[in-house]
Amino acid sequence: MANNQKAKGDRYERDVLDLARRRGFPHASRTRPGRREDEGDIHLAPGVIVQCKDVARVDWRAWLAQLEQQRLAARAEHGVLVVKRRGAGGRPPIHLAVMPLDDMLRLLCDAGWGDWDAVGFEEAQ
């Protein structure tokens, strides 16, 4: 059973990597499995790692904690959890990108879409 799960996980990592490359991330790469310090499944761009999950049941709390450990191990600024939600009734699966809101806002600020150092909501009142 474990080998089946690993094969499914490896296949999903390759699928996500292929999609990322087709969407303009030609230097994205899978990390080497079996390392003592897990650095995520995919290094998407400098400072951004991706952890992929293709499972029947979600465990958001554990996965997000794991993602943070992997982000720190990789010395990355951003980590994204990509979860495959299987389709039902002939519908295709949905691929979700999940991260804590503060992390997403920081990512958008780093991309030039906001100002992380702007006056916060609490300070403005």
Tens-place pLDDT, residues 31-41: 876 665 678 89
Instruction: Using pLDDT thresholds of 50, 70 and 90, give the confidence band for residue 42.
Output: very high
Model confidence, pTM: 0.83
Two tokens at 2? 């474990």
pLDDT at 123 over 60: no
- Could you tell me how far CA 82 lies from the centroid of its own chain? 5
Has residue 115 been placed in a domain? no
48 located within any domain:
yes
Nearest to 52 by CA among 86, 95, 21, 104: 95
Number of domains in the chain: 1
Residue 47 structure tokens: 């400072």
| pLDDT one-digit tens code per residue, 63-120 | 999 999 999 999 999 999 999 988 777 888 889 999 999 999 999 998 889 888 886 6
Residue 118 is assigned to a structural domain of this protein: no
What's the CATH code of the domain at 52?
3.40.1350
Give the C-alpha distances (Å, rounded to integers) separating 119 from 103, 104, 109, 116, 124. Answer: 18, 18, 14, 9, 6
Range of the domain at 11: 2-99
